[in-house]
Amino acid sequence: MTSELTPNNAAEPVKSSKPAKAQALTAVKGMNDLLPPASAQWEWLEEKVRGLMARHAYRNLRTPIVEPTALFVRGLGEVTDIVEKEMYSFEDRLNGEQLTLRPEATAGVVRAVVEHNMLYDGGKRLYYMGPMFRHERPQRGRYRQFHQIGAEALGFPGAEVDAELILLAATLWQELGLEDVRLELNSLGQPNERAAHRMALIAHLETHVDVLDEEAKRRLHSNPLRILDTKNPAMHAVVEAAPKLIDFLGEASLAHFNAVKAILDASGVSYRINPRLVRGMDYYNLTVFEFVTDRLGSQGTICGGGRYDYLIEQVGGKPAPAVGWALGVERVLELLKEQGTLPEAVGPDVYAIVPDASALPVVFKTIQTLRTQGMSVQMHAGAGEGMGSMKSQFKKADGSGAQLALIFGGDELARGEVILKSLRDGAGAQEAVPLADVTARVAAKLV
Ligand code: ATP
Ligand code: MG
């Protein structure tokens, strides 16, 4: 992109005396605002993830949203959907650096791990959450800014860590109450095994070149494995009959794969071997997997991952094995919504009704104590002159979803009391409570 610094735009002379109303700006296509109450469901999911990661001893890593373009070109592979057509890349017009909004986070995690020499004292288990950017056609479950949560274990070569990560994801589905998610599993073997398979695959595809679409023809010699991932139904028969990578795996690769499967079997996690599962990035080897649902149409993959033992070296680090996955937050929430099991947004515990502004000092003091004790309190705030009528305050209190109202009326305050009123269970019931007992009384009412 070239510099877009424009010369001083000579302003059009304003004809009417009134300034023209500025045209409202809207968000970029495919990039969404997240508003309450839906944002509470995101927080709910994020809390679940934080708890789960802590219990598995995975620690949080936060990397920049912008990285050097070269990181993704080197890390993901040049002949991938992401690098070929989905990246938001631009030149920093101040210093000419080539930058990209991260389309995924694994490459950045690896860069950070190498840059900070994090593996010097052994393997690391990490997780992240955050926005990713891909220029795709926006539709349900596919956005240009979307969010991933990912887990990565770096520095561990063994199949037990592959299994740990898969089980971690499966546990998350359980804790979120996700249904109808199935696990698909494959092994991509090692580079030499892939090379042998690649030759057989190209030979097979060449004998059916008439059936291949343009993209497949283009990838026939650059990245034939990716052709197996095609969504073009016309090519399915050819792809189905193609030589399977799994038949080219040597003893060590098979042993690794079998060890992963054995732990999954022993843990009661079911899976389907999908020999065509290859994943979008070039960096994977050995174990690859996806969690898939049929309930979200063609955006059915909610989580994908695998082993990437060569990526660290590829971005300039000392060779070290690694494995990880990433889930799509929008798709997981969409699936929960589809099931009808997304938690409802909850209101505050207490709504503080303030008939007159003169009560505010007592109101602040009282509700601050409630908040310190962990209760959530929404204070009424005036919308025009003064605090507003009692009627409008009660309407707001009801609308807030609060369980209880505390009414700081002048007469009661003069006696050192407030009125505590139920807004939900036994709505209408009310009692006068001495100010000194408010915290205990409210707490008792809330259980
Ligand atoms: P797809 O085949 O659906 O394009 P992908 O293989 O490109 O997915 P990954 O790069 O493996 O996806 O990303 C991991 C997860 O992130 C996906 O399984 C999906 O849940 C989510 N995801 C990927 N791209 C998008 C997007 N554009 N919008 C929303 N979620 C996405
Ligand atoms: Mg994609």
**β-strands 301-307, 285-292 pairing:** antiparallel
The fraction of the chain above a pLDDT of 90, given in percent, is: 85
Distance (Å, whole) CA 182 – CA 205: 30
Q: Report whether residue 143 contacts ligand 1, using a CB cutoff of 6 Å.
A: yes
Ligand closest to Cα of 280 equals 1
pLDDT at 137: 96
pLDDT value at 439 more than 60 = yes
Distance from residue 143's CA to the centre of ligand 1 (Å): 9
Q: What local confidence, expressed as pLDDT, does residue 228 receive?
A: 87
Instruction: Look at residue 377 in the predicted model and tell me its pLDDT.
Output: 98
What ranges in 228-345 are assigned the alpha helix state H? 236-240, 251-266, 311-314, 329-339
The answer to whether the CB of 326 is under 6 A from ligand 1 is: yes
User: Residue range 20-45: average pLDDT?
Assistant: 94
Candidates 209, 151, 117, 180; CA nearest to 341 is 180
- Closest by Cα among 261, 302, 334 to 38: 334
Sheet containing 124-133: which strands, arranged edge to edge? Answer: 59-60, 124-133, 145-154, 322-328, 301-307, 285-292, 182-187, 272-273
Q: Does the Cβ of 147 fall within 6 Å of ligand 1?
A: no
Domains belonging to the chain, first-starting first, are: 38-189+249-338 (3.30.930.10), 350-446 (3.40.50.800)
Å from CA of 263 to ligand 1 middle: 27
* pLDDT at residue 9 greater than cutoff 80: no
User: Which 3 state secondary structure label does DSSP give 85?
Assistant: helix
pLDDT tens for 166-219 read 999 999 999 999 999 999 999 999 999 999 999 999 999 999 999 999 999 999
What type of residue is 228?
Answer: L
Pairwise CA distance, residues 61 & 128, whole Å: 6
CA 45, 49, 51 angle in degrees (round to 5)?
Answer: 120
Angle between helices 38-55 and 159-176 (to 10 degrees): 140
Q: What DSSP string runs through 379-442?
A: E---SSSSS--HHHHHHHHHHHT-SEEEE--HHHHHTTEEEEEESSTTTT-EEEEEGGGHHHHH
pLDDT tens-digit map of 352-410 = 999 999 999 999 999 999 999 999 999 999 988 899 999 999 999 999 999 999 999 99
Q: Where are the beta strands (DSSP E) in 179-284?
A: 182-187, 272-273
Contact 127, 149 (CB under 8 A): yes
Best residue among 140, 144, 146, 323 to mutate for probing ligand 1, ranked by most atoms within 8 Å of CB = 146
Please give the distance, rounded to the nearest whole angstrom, from the Cα atom of residue 81 to the centre of ligand 2. 7
State how far the Cα of 362 lies from the Cα of 368, in Å rounded to an integer.
Answer: 10
pLDDT for residue 357:
96
Share of the chain above pLDDT 70, in %: 96
Say yes or no to pLDDT of 16 above 70: no
Strand partners, 378: 351
Separation of 246 CA from ligand 1 center, angstroms? 24
Distances from the Cα of 162 to the Cαs of 157, 283, 286, in angstroms? 9, 16, 10
Residue 13 has pLDDT above 70, yes or no: no
Cis ω before 68 (30° cut-off from 0): no
Please tell me the predicted confidence (pLDDT) of residue 2: 41
Query: What are the tokens at 76?
Result: 């993901």
Residue 347 Cβ inside 6 Å of ligand 1? The answer reads no
Ligand 1, atom 11, residue with closest C-alpha: 304
Is the beta carbon of 331 within 6 A of some atom in ligand 1?
A: yes
Distance 227 CA to ligand 2 centre (A): 14
pLDDT band (50, 70, 90) for residue 17: low
CB 405 within 8 A of CB 425: no
pLDDT score at 425: 75
Would you state the pLDDT for residue 10? 44
pLDDT band at 77 (very low <50, low <70, confident <90, very high): confident
How far is 114 from 322, CA to CA, in rounded Å?
12
Q: Which ligand sits nearest to residue 142's alpha carbon?
A: 1
For the chain, what is the mean pLDDT?
Answer: 93
Q: Kindly state if the Cβ of 330 falls inside 6 Å of ligand 1.
A: yes
Give, rounded to a whole angstrom, the gap between the first and last alpha carbons of the chain.
59
| Sign of the alpha-carbon torsion through 430, 433, 435, 441 | negative
Q: Which of 32, 104, 331 to mutate to test the pocket of ligand 1 (most atoms within 8 A of CB)?
A: 331
Token pair, residue 70, equals: 């070269």
Q: What angle do CA 345, 349, 351 make, to 5 degrees?
A: 105
Whole-Å CA distances, 235 to 241, 416, 446: 10, 80, 61
Q: What's the pLDDT tens digit per position in 398-412?
A: 999 999 999 999 999
pLDDT tens for residues 226-251? 898 888 999 999 999 999 999 999 99
Interatomic CA distance for residues 76 and 179, integer angstroms: 31
Residue 14 has pLDDT above 60, yes or no: no
Report residue 312 as tokens: 């660290």
- Whether the pLDDT of residue 4 is over 60: the answer is no
Closest CA to 242 of 256, 258, 224, 254: 224
442, with CB counted inside 10 A (0-12, 13-18, 19+), is buried
Secondary structure letter of residue 210 according to DSSP? G
pTM here is 0.90
**How far is residue 240's CA from residue 290's CA, in Å, rounded to a whole number?**
19
pLDDT tens per residue, range 133-176? 999 999 999 999 999 999 999 999 999 999 999 999 999 999 99
CA–CA distances in Å: residue 374 to residues 153, 244, 446: 36, 58, 12
